[in-house]
Amino acid sequence: MSSKEQTILDDASDGGESFTSIFEDILDAAQASDAEGSEDGYETSEILSEEKCLEMRTYLRAHGEQKFLLKYLFSDDASATDTSESNIREVLYALGIRSSVVLESFDEAAMVQLLQLAITRELSRRIPLDNVTTLDDAISLIKNAKNIVLLTGAGISTSLGIPDFRSDSGIYKRLEAMGLSEPQEVFDLHVFREDPSIFYTFSKEILPTVTRFSPTHAFIKLIQDNDKLLTNYTQNIDNLESHAGILKDKLVQCHGSFAFATCQNCGHKVPGDELFADIRMGVVSRCKQAASADLVQSRKRKRASDDDDDEEQDAQEVDQCNGVMKPDITFFGEALPKTFETRLLGQDIDNCDLLICIGTSLKVAPVSEIIRVLPSHIPQIYISRTPCTHAEFDVSLLGNCDDVVEYICKELGEGWELTHEMIAENAFNGEVAKTADRTYTFTRTSGADKTQEADIMKQEETERNDPDGKNGTSPGESN
């Protein structure tokens, strides 16, 4: 083996810092463009046949990464022998990277890094179950399951006018429009500790403004009422699961919530809504807990040495902790709640008999790893507006989450009546069609979409004008 071949093998096997998160985004985009038939993708016949691609993926799973690379990247019988770069291009194509932008424009070093990630993803892909392939199968599973694990994301709240984070109209785009070049820094723990004013300047964009919940939240409550809910892992920080009545011992708020806030100095915890006024004004919220005796003495000595004339202000700063308050949401660089790991590995991995992912793109680790941690024989159902291209679900139900769960409850029948004001005003009466293998799409009529959009805009305007609900009734709660 040549030194160049060994270098490529070593780089492709390196799971450390040889590639960054940008390659995750590139891989997602490349695989999504192929799945959607994008114009920048190659035709199947241009590089390899689908039979050849399947053969290569099967060999990878059967023999492992090293033998796979030796056979298809460096062997004499590899179909492209001019340069290793052309061989890498073929292997990437076989692993689902069909974007001409990637295959024609990337240099060898970039393609090697992308290759490592593509191989890792292929090896970690779950093989869909042969006996779970249809919408009827999915409904039957829900009806007969006893211990359902739900993994939920922003898509279960968007019908209430609550934006997600990563879409074109999401939180990060809003923050960019406000002049923030790196939107994720708002939720970076190190940035917060250095300058909490950045978070308080922009966090009003994610402040919960409603207590009502969506039909999808009500569906989760129905699963609980039917004694089938094992755990609801939510990535949302709006705390609407609690408003919907999901029991505390059934709920893991993986990314925390605004329900409480904690002083970064003394650890004092308060209800989160005590910070809301400061957040709306963009002012850093400070802890009003009494300062410790040692801290009071230290501040008095400092005040005396500084000879400050503003005695009233100094007295308040001396007597109170005055530490920075941080909402109990999980920032980047901060560990997830301990209950996430202990419950997943200590209970759910052994007891779950059905996984349903609703309204999540599954792009944020470690929560996204739940689909790989649970045993592969556990059926998996995916419900969201857009497909998930980097995971293999048994059945995918694509459309507005509220529409999908409304349909499911009607099919489940007695004991699954989904009563909710949003359904009463705008019930789903669209089409359900099988659009691909294991995939069904729920399509509303255009008139119904406009009615729902008008209702959301009206609700958002009411909440902007009266965020505390003091000028009338509360935003409303669902049955």
Tell me the H-state helices in 77-214.
Answer: 84-94, 100-105, 108-124, 135-144, 171-177, 189-194, 197-202
On whether 263 is known to bind a ligand per the annotation, the reply is: yes
- Residue 149 pairs in a beta bridge with 231, 355
Phi, psi angle pair for 159, to nearest 5°: -70, -10
User: What gap in Å lies between CA 408 and CA 87, rounded to an integer?
Assistant: 47
How many residues can be counted in the chain? 479
Q: What angle do CA 13, 16, 17 make, to 5 degrees?
A: 115
Is residue 294 classed as helix, strand or coil in its secondary structure? helix
SS3 labels along 181-228: CCHHHHHEHHHHHHCCHHHHHHHHHCCCCCCCCCHHHHHHHHHHHCCC
In the set 63, 190, 243, 255, the catalytic residue is 255
On whether 409 is known to bind a ligand per the annotation, the reply is: no
On whether 352 is known to bind a ligand per the annotation, the reply is: no
Closest among 315, 179, 191, 337 to 252, alpha carbons compared: 337
Beta strands in 254-343 (DSSP E): 256-263, 269-271, 325-329
* 243 annotated active-site: no
On whether 53 is known to bind a ligand per the annotation, the reply is: no
Q: In whole angstroms, what separates CA 146 from the centre of its chain?
A: 25
Binding site for Zn(2+), by residue number, is 263, 266, 287, 321
Binding site, by residue number, is 263, 266, 287, 321
Q: Which residues are catalytic?
A: 255
